[in-house]
Amino acid sequence: MKPKVVVSFRQCEDVFESLNDLAHVRFCPSSNREEFLKELSDAEALVVGGEPIDEDLLEEAPKLRIIARFGVGYERIDLEACTKRGIYVSYTPGALSNAVAELTMGLILCLSRKITEADRYVRTEWGKGPRFTLGIDLEGKTLGIIGLGRIGIAVARRTKAFDMKLVYYDVIHRQDLEETLGIRFVELDDLLRISDFVTIHIPLTSSTRGLIGERELKLMKKDAYLINTSRGSIIDEEALCRALKEGGIAGAGLDVFAKEPLPLDSPLAKLRNVVLTPHVGSATVETRRKMAQVSAENVRRVLQGEPPLNLVPEQKGKIL
């Protein structure tokens, strides 16, 4: 009997179906919990999007050998519970960095040149009289990158073309990169004080939850913009709404939210100085395909008795 692989979403099906030479691939959304758990009861591999994976779910999936996360943020997977059961957790590092960096640049440009506002203006007010307000140049402005990892580096590379000044804050000093990227390390408070644009590229962990709160927002310049394509809960959203309403900062570009989908009645959705996208950092045809290929390869290796290529760092040396 071939082992069963469950994929919790329908995207790049052909890539996952290529595993059918050694497995039996089933697509089953996790939204129907009962059906999903039934499929998992004899599955040896699971490919997941952002769904939570907890003890209760693992209890129902006694044969699992690998959970392949289709993405790089795996804060909703209980790693300790997986490690205890000898279940590998893999992810797709690097496959999506350029796509997220491109979206970040898109949000920066939308804010600096008011592109979404301009679109609304053309459809409603142009020709009626009021002038469209001026944007700002990126040249010479300072971009502060919080988290100089894979995505942060990809953003830094792209901003070179716009002649921006670069500073970063990270728990790791990346002296190896500073010269080639033309970037300077500063402490977080200093980054917030001096940057015209602040962009966040760190994982959501117990130490980063709420990292940007009222105090941090108050350190930012009144004409600065905040961009977040990492995880919503890294920012205190209530404090952010207040800062945006009261002119504490000029605007924000957000791809991620504490609660997703963002409720339609969220105060953020009512603000004009905010550009919102629905967690689409990696959502391009090419990138999603690369992510599917990496996920499928990790599953293939485990089903063939090898460890996955992209084991999450927390499990390194802890799982046989």
Residues that bind ligand NAD (CB under 6 A): 71-73, 93, 96-97, 100, 147-152, 169-172, 201-204, 207-208, 229-231, 255-256, 279, 281-282
Exactly one of 85, 158, 279, 289 is catalytic; name it: 279
Closest approach of ligand NAD to the CB of residue 38, in Å: 30
Q: Which is nearer to ligand NAD, 30 or 282 (CB)?
A: 282
Annotated catalytic residue 117? no
8 Å CB contact between 159 and 177:
no
Annotated catalytic residue 231? yes
Closest approach of ligand NAD to the CB of residue 236, in Å: 15
Exactly one of 231, 237, 288, 297 is catalytic; name it: 231
Annotated catalytic residue 201? no
H-assigned helices in 88-236:
97-112, 115-124, 150-159, 175-181, 188-194, 214-219
Q: Which is nearer to ligand NAD, 45 or 312 (CB)?
A: 312
Residues whose CB is less than 8 angstroms from the CB of residue 303 and which lie 6 or more positions away in sequence, other chains included: 3, 5, 19, 22, 23, 44, 45, 65, 66
- Centroid of chain to Cα 192: 21
Q: Which is nearer to ligand NAD, 25 or 96 (CB)?
A: 96
Q: Which is nearer to ligand NAD, 83 or 284 (CB)?
A: 284
Closest approach of ligand NAD to the CB of residue 95, in Å: 9
Burial of 115-134, coded b for 16+ CB within 10 Å and e otherwise, reads ebbeeebeeeeeeeeeeeee
8 Å CB contact between 232 and 212:
no
Closest approach of ligand NAD to the CB of residue 109, in Å: 17
Active site residues: 231, 260, 279
